[in-house]
Amino acid sequence: MPIYTKETISDLIDGKLSWHVLKGIMSSDKDEDRFEKYLEILQERASWQEKILVPIAEHLFVVSKGNDRIVKCECGHEFGDYRINWKLKALIYVRDTEEKLDEIFEGLHKPDKRWSVIREYYCPGCSAQLEVEAVPPGYPILFDFLPDIDGFYDMRPKLKKKILGK
């Protein structure tokens, strides 16, 4: 099983690897400490101190803050309890008119606004686009991911001690 350096994993995150190297990584078994290295890199890049428990989107993480587990953006903006859909506290832009859909779709690729709208979610702290969903008009906001953090770490006792401290 190949072992990749933190530098290689860092380049993987940043999309800097050549196709040849990337293909090698994709085609081989995942090295056992990949997630641990990935977390270390994300933590080193963070401008804040809270420990990252699990990344949940490109700019979002569940972090440990005191006795709480909250969703936090790369920029430091906090969305609160990770069990509550962070999207409810995001800035939301809904593309539900011909004009708004024309800005991102061309011709026949555009969905019929009677059947589908595009919802874009942005961070109130840094304006990064955090998620995009295509749903029927009026459909409830999707809750993408509720990680079983304790279950995940229970399966990895060594990492659990390092990350959760127990």
CB of 121 vs Zn ion, minimal distance in Å: 11
* Among 39, 11, 22, 5, CA closest to 152: 39
87 contacts Zn ion (rule: CB under 5 A): no
Q: Does 123 bind Zn ion (CB under 5 A)?
A: yes
# of chain residues touching Zn ion (CB under 5 A): 6
119 contributes a contact to Zn ion by CB under 5 A: no
Q: Of the ranges 15-23, 48-56, 96-104, 125-133, which one interacts with Zn ion (CB under 5 A)? A: 125-133
| Residues 6+ away with beta carbon under 8 Å from 88 | 141
CB of 137 to Zn ion, least distance (A): 28
Among 3, 88, 104, 126, binds Zn ion (CB under 5 A): 126
How far apart CA 92 and CA 119 sit, in angstroms, is: 7
78-98 burial code (b ≥16 CB/10 A, e <16): bbeebeebbbebbeeeebeee
With binding defined as CB under 5 A, does residue 77 bind Zn ion? yes
CB of residue 75 to Zn ion, shortest distance in Å: 3
Of 54, 56, 70, 73, the one binding Zn ion (CB under 5 A) is 73
Contact of 145 with 166, CB cutoff 8 Å: no
The residue among 2, 39, 47 whose CA lies nearest residue 22 is 2
Question: Which residues make up the interface to Zn ion (CB under 5 A)?
Answer: 73, 75, 77, 123, 125-126
